[in-house]
């Protein structure tokens, strides 16, 4: 179970991440671009995932993840219930969200300095994120 305080701390642990507000809800940005949000009550958050990764998470954990409404959801914005996740699961997904909006040089500098990640408790989110990156690279 992840708490709202842990979501905030995790989001702010990424380089140049800053807390702000969007429609009176807390959000987390890198150089002005939103990569995650958290409802004021801390019971629901949102991540900017790729549509492919979103689909994998919806299939793997429908009790914990659901798409944002309308256009936003079709673009990969994915809602999650922190109370239904382990911190290890959320860490890899939060990083993917940060990488999607971080400037290329900033993202590359993080990747260059990052040690290999340990598998998450379930292993699925880290594997799903890796698979989504591979699919995206194959299309280029």
Alpha helices (H) in the chain, listed in sequence order: 4-11, 51-60, 70-74, 87-101, 104-113, 124-139
For the ranges 15-19, 25-29, 98-102, 108-112, the lowest mean pLDDT is seen at 108-112
Q: Is 12 exposed, middle or buried (0-12, 13-18, 19+ CB in 10 A)?
A: exposed
pLDDT for 119: 35
Write down the mean pLDDT value for the chain.
86
**pLDDT band at 128; cut points 50, 70, 90:** low
DSSP label at 107? H
Residue 125: band (very low, low, confident or very high) from pLDDT cuts 50, 70, 90: low
Comparing 17 with 123, the larger pLDDT belongs to 17
pLDDT of 137 above 80? no
Q: Which pLDDT band, with edges at 50, 70 and 90, does 126 fall under?
A: low
Q: Which of 34-38, 47-51, 111-115 has the lowest mean pLDDT?
A: 111-115
Fold (topology level) of 4-139: 3.90.1150
Query: From its phi and psi, is residue 41 left (phi > 0), alpha (psi between -120 and 50) or beta?
Result: alpha
Average confidence (pLDDT) over 50-60:
97
Helix axis angle, 124-139 to 87-101, nearest 10°: 20
Proportion of the chain above pLDDT 90, given as a percent: 73
Q: Which residue has the higher pLDDT, 76 or 111?
A: 76
Integer Cα distance of 52 and 45 in angstroms: 19
């Amino acid at each position: 179970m992840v708490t709202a305080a842990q979501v905030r701390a995790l989001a702010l642990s990424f380089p140049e991440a800053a807390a702000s507000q969007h429609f009176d809800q807390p959000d987390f940005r890198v150089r002005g671009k939103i990569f995650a949000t958290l409802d004021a009550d801390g019971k629901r958050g949102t991540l900017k995932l790729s549509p492919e990764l979103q689909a994998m998470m919806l299939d793997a954990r429908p009790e914990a993840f659901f798409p944002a409404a309308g256009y936003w959801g079709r673009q990969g914005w994915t809602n999650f219930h922190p109370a239904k996740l382990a911190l290890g699961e959320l860490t890899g997904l939060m990083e993917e969200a940060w990488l999607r909006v971080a400037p290329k040089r900033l993202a590359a500098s993080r990747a260059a300095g990052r040690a290999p990640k340990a598998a998450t408790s379930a292993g699925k989110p880290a594997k799903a994120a890796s698979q989504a990156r591979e699919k995206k690279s194959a299309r280029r």
